[in-house]
Amino acid sequence: MDDFEKKIPKIVAKQKEFFNTNKTLSIDFRLKALMRLKNAIIRYEDELTDALKEDLGRDSLAAYFCDVGSLILEINETMKGLRKWARTEVHFSGLVCFPSVLTKVYKMPYGTTLIISPFNFPILLSLGVLTASIAGGNTAVIKASSKSPNCTALMQKIIKEIFPMKYVTVIGGGHDVADCLLTQKFDKIFYTGSPRVGVHVLEEAAKNLTPVALELGGETGNWCVIRKDADIKDAARKIAFFKALNSGQICININQVAVAKEVANEFVVELKRAYLKQLGNSPLFNSEYPKLINERAYDKCEKDVSDYKDRVYFGGHGNKETLRFEPTIIFPVDIDEAIVNRELFNPILPVVTYKDSEIDKLLKTINSREKGLAFYLFTKDIPWAEKTMRRLQFGGGCINEVCLHMMVKGVPFNGVGHSGMGAYHGEWGFREFTYPKSVLMGQNIFNLSLREHPHNRKWKEIAIHLFER
C-alpha cells in the first residue's frame, strides 16, 4: 500500500475529531484564522510570485493581480462581512404554531471539507476557496495540482506554518491521491477543473451522499459575440488582453468569437494590431507572456493550429522548449466545426462570422449547446444586450467588457449545467460552505390542542381553516 493511502484516512479522521471539539463554531476563531492566512500571504508575496513564475511563466504584476492580490481582497471581504453573514436569523413561526411563535435559523458548517484545485490559478483557487471554508467554520483538506508543483510546495509550507494539520492541510500528488481522497467520507467537496473530471467527482461523492460544488470550464467553450454596431477597436483591445492572459488557460476565457460579417475583417485587423501593441512582434521572447502548463498542453495547441494552418490569420508558432505558443487567430471558422465545439484552454482564438440580421439564429445555436461558464457581448444597443443576457443560460459575463465580472465584490461566481453548480466569493462562498438549520422555540404555556385527538370538534376545524388560509 502506498504511503498516502495510509496517511489520508488518518488526516481525515483527525480533522473530524477536531471539528467535533466545536472550536471552529466560534466566529472569533474563524476571524483569527483568516487573519493568519492573510498575514502569511502578505509575508510570502515574493515567494508566491516567484512560484507562479516558475509554474506558469507569469510576470510579477500578473501574478499579483490574478492570484495574490485577488486572494487578499477575498479574505478582506470575508473578514468584513463574516459576523453579519453568520448571524442567527429569527422568524415568526406563524399562528399555526402558536404559542411557539419564534423559529431560529442557524448557519451551520458542514464539517470536514475537501478542496480540489487546478493548476491555472493555483494560489487563488486553492486558498480563495479555503477562505470560504474557514469562514463557514469547517476544517479543510486541499488537494493542490501536481501540474503546478512550485505553488503546491509553497502552499504546503505556508499552511503547515500557520495551521495544524488537524485543521487545514495541503496535499500534493496526482490523480491517484485525488482518487484516494474521494473515497473518504468528507462532509463537503469543492472541485475546480474540467467537466470530465467533475463527473468523476460527483460519482464518487454520491457514494457517501456528499454535497458537491463544481466550478468547471465550458464544455463547448465560452462565447464572445460582437455585433456590427460595436466599438471594434475597444473590443479587440480587451479581447487581446484577455486571450493572452495566462496564455488562455482561464476557465472564464473566451473560447471563440462570433463577429458580424459586416465588421469581421475590421475586427481581425484590429485584434492583430492589439496583440502586437501589447506583446510586441515576438511574444515567444516576451518575458511577460506566460507559458502553457506542460508539453501535453503545448502539443494539443500545436496540433489544433496544424489542423487549421490554412486559416491561421495571425500567430501560429510556438517554442516547445519554453512551452510558449503565440496568440493565434484562426479565421474564418464555421460555427459547426470541431474547434468551436470544445474547450480549448490555450491562446488559440477561432473567429466565426454571422450576418448581423441573423443574430437570433446565432444565439439560438449557442444556447442549444452546453452552458458556458461565461458569455461576453459587444454592442452599443444596451437594452437589447441586457435582454439577451437575461434569456441566455451561462454562469456570468460582461457587456462591452471581459472577465472583470469575477472581480466584483458581493456577487457570486458560478457555472450552470456543464460549467458547474454552486457559487462562491464573499457571502456566496460562506453560503456554499454552510447549511441552514431551523430550530423552533417551543412553549409550554397557552398550548392549544388543535393538532391533538380527538379531531371531531367543530372549533378545531374552524381554527385550522382560519390559520391555514
Count how many residues are written for the chain: 469
Instruction: Residue 314: count other Cβ atoms within 10 Å of its Cβ.
Output: 18
User: Where does 67-183 show beta strands of DSSP type E?
Assistant: 89-92, 102-109, 112-116, 139-143, 168-171
Cell numbers standing for residue 427: 457571502
Contacts of 396 (CB under 8 A, 6+ apart): 252, 373, 374, 405, 406, 411, 412, 413, 414
Q: What is the DSSP letter of 87?
A: P
Answer yes or no: are the C-beta atoms of 442 and 394 closer than 8 Å.
no
Return d(Cα 383, Cα 172) in angstroms, integer: 48
Q: What is the CA radius of gyration of the chain?
A: 26
Q: Kindly write down the DSSP assignment for every residue of 272-287, as one continuous string.
A: HHHHHHHH-S-GGG-T
Beta bridge partners, 374, equal: 396
Q: How far apart are CA 230 and CA 386, in angstroms?
A: 15
Closest CA to 433 of 211, 270, 268: 211
Catalytic residue among 66, 180, 251, 398: 251
Give dist(CA 91, CA 102) in Å, integer. Answer: 6
Catalytic site includes residue 251 = yes
Contact partners, residue 183, CB within 8 Å, separation at least 6 = 204
Cell numbers at 366, concatenated: 449557442
Q: What distance in Å separates the CA atoms of residue 422 and residue 412, rounded to the nearest whole number?
A: 9
215 in catalytic set: yes
Residues 247-272 as b or e (16 or more Cβ within 10 Å = b)? bbbbbbbbbbbbbbeebbeebbebbb
Of residues 74, 77, 204, 215, which has the active-site annotation?
215
- Within 13 Å and on the Cβ side, how many CA atoms surround 156? 13
Provide the annotated active-site residues: 215, 251
